[in-house]
Amino acid sequence: MKAILLAAAAEGEEPNPLIPHLPEIIWGLIFFVALVALMTKYVVPNFEKAYAARTAEIEGGIEEAKAAQNEAQAALEKYTAQLAEARHEAAAIREEAREQGAQIVVEMREQAQAESQRILSAAQAQIAAERQQAIAQLKSEVGGMATELAARIVGETLADTDAQRRSVQRFMDELEGSAN
C-alpha cells in the first residue's frame, strides 16, 4: 500500500481520500485494542454482574411464585376439606333434628292419646254418675207418684214415709228384675 501511495505521489497525483494513511491505521488499531481492553476489564464485568443479578431476581421471583402457588393450593385443599366437613356436620345436624322432630311428634301423639283417654274416662265416669243420680231421682219421683196414685186409688193417705219408701223400693226392684 505504501508503494501505491508513493507511486501516486511520484506521478504527481493527489493521494486517494478513500485510502487512509498508514499512521492513522496504526493509531486507530492501537486505540481500538485499548478500548476493547478497557471494555473487557471494566464494562463487561459490570454487565455480567447486572445480568446475573437480573437472572437471579427473575429466578427468585419464579421460585416465590411457585411457593405462593403451592401455598395457595394447600390452603384451597384445606378449605375444601373444611367445607366438606362442615357440610357433613350440617347433614348430621339436619338428620338429628329430623329424628328429634319425629320423636317429638311421637311423644305429642302419645300425650294426645293419653289426654283423650283421660277425657273419655272422665266423661264416662261423669255419665255414670249422672245416670245414677238420674236413676235415684227417678226412683224418688216414681216412688212419690206411685204413693200418690196408690193414695188416690185406696182413698187414704199413706203418711208413713218409711213404709212408703220400702214399698217403692220393692216395686222398683221387681221392675229391674223383670227388665233383666
pLDDT of residue 4: 52
DSSP at 11: T
pLDDT of residue 2: 55
Provide CB contacts within 8 A for 165, sequence distance 6+: 143
| DSSP H/E element including 143 | helix 44-154
pLDDT of residue 92: 94
Q: 10 Å Cβ neighbour count for 146?
A: 16
Q: At 11, list the grid cell.
A: 506521478
Contact 15, 9 (CB under 8 A): yes
> What one-character-per-residue DSSP string does 75-118 give?
HHHHHHHHHHHHHHHHHHHHHHHHHHHHHHHHHHHHHHHHHHHH
Q: Which of 75, 77, 79, 97 is nearest to 87 (CA)?
A: 79
**Stated pTM of the model:** 0.39
What is the chain's pLDDT, residue by residue, as a tens digit (180 residues)?
A: 555 545 545 555 777 778 888 899 999 999 999 999 999 999 999 999 999 999 999 998 899 999 999 999 999 999 999 999 999 999 999 999 999 999 999 999 999 999 999 999 999 999 999 988 988 888 778 777 777 777 677 665 655 666 667 777 777 777 777 766
